Amino acid sequence: MALLYKADPVRGAVWKQVFTAEAPEIDFRAWPEAGKLADIRYLAAWTVTPDLLASLPNLEVLFSTGAGVDQLDLSQVPAHIQVVRMIEPGIIDGMVEYASFATLALHRHMLHYRKAQDEGRWAPVKLVPAQARRIGVMGLGTLGRAVLDRLGRYGFPLSGWSRSPQQVEGVTCHAGAEGMPAFLAACDILICLLPLTDETRGILCRKTFDLLPDGAALVNAGRGGHLVEVDFLAALDSGKLSGAVLDVTEPEPLPPGHPFWRHPAILLTPHIASMTQPESAARVLMANIRQHRQGLAMVGNVPRGRGY
Ligand code: GLV
């Protein structure tokens, strides 16, 4: 019974060390040294091709090495193969840090101060207490909940939105299309942590921005495909949105000359909000494989047909 790892080789070397030391019963193989392909029951990869899948006749589980699975064309993955996304402490911590940084940067007017500094202006603006800055998170999975938990400690009033109804302590939760207007009306800073699916593509659009309070700000650490660029730029121009922190774009990397590069109201980072940490990820994967060997549920299982 073997696990094939087919992703970044430098991180793969760390995975191999952890597996060798802590799970000698799992035969860890790093691409391209795949050995006998019929032995491979588990595949850990960021993307796969139909050819690769077809070459692994006994594959049971495909593990994404990242939190998302939108980079995989699930329609090309045979239905009997389970798909599992990466939910590991390193990714969660990274996202909590990034969302905190982005929220605090917007809350404390850092876009204004960066511009003022560029222009050599000493230009203080009134400090808004955290209690008066309402934060809303779209996506109430593991990442969204961890982010809300941390932001709550600053004293921001919190709300959350998800596709199906959820309950999170200390957070006003809304769900579905009917919950959207009330949710958005209470977001001075809107943070998108949704998975990208057919339903969420383009969700950050004019209709959404129009329902936000005037001068609201946006953080997108989901996927570039959530954002409708023309609507977003128009909302920044009109002042409906006062600023944004974007970690994701479509395409990535952002092409030279794209308006986001030099926009004074956009703080742009190159999809670095969070990264899978090889040591902790290897341990999560190992635990999942052991669960699967015993016929038990795995953390991060992606129900086929749901797509996240
Ligand atoms: C990064 O965006 C990931 O999905 O892990």
Give, using CA atoms, the residue closest to atom 5 of ligand 1.
Answer: 66
Asked if residue 298 belongs to a domain, the reply is no
- In DSSP notation, 104-136 reads HHHHTTHHHHHHHHHTT-----PPPPGGG--EE
Q: Which stretch of DSSP H or E encloses residue 218?
A: strand 216-220
Asked if residue 166 belongs to a domain, the reply is yes
Asked if residue 262 belongs to a domain, the reply is yes
**Separation of alpha carbons 193 and 27, rounded Å:** 35
CA 275 to ligand 1 centroid distance, Å? 7
- What are 182's two structure tokens? 């009330």
Q: Are residues 30 and 154 in the same domain?
A: no
- CB-ligand 1 contact for 224 (6 Å cutoff): no
Domain that holds residue 283: 2-88+276-293
CA 15 centroid distance within chain: 22
| Exposure of 262 in the CB half-sphere (CA atoms within 13 A) | 4
- What are 37's two structure tokens? 């392909």
User: Ligand 1: which of 8, 47, 91 to mutate, judged by most atoms within 8 Å of the beta carbon?
Assistant: 91
User: Ligand 1: which of 276, 280, 285 to mutate, judged by most atoms within 8 Å of the beta carbon?
Assistant: 276
Q: Are residues 120 and 258 in the same domain?
A: yes
- CB-ligand 1 contact for 72 (6 Å cutoff): no
Q: Are residues 173 and 248 in the same domain?
A: yes
Any catalytic annotation for residue 223?
A: yes
Mean pLDDT within 182-192 = 98
CATH of the domain at 64: 3.40.50.720
Res 305: pLDDT: 84
Q: Are residues 100 and 167 in the same domain?
A: yes
CA 47 to ligand 1 centroid distance, Å? 12
CA-to-CA separations, 161 to 44, 173, 178, 182, 191, in angstroms, rounded: 31, 6, 11, 10, 10
Q: Sorting pLDDT into bands at 50, 70 and 90, what band is 307?
A: confident
Tens-place pLDDT, residues 157-176:
999 999 999 999 999 999 99
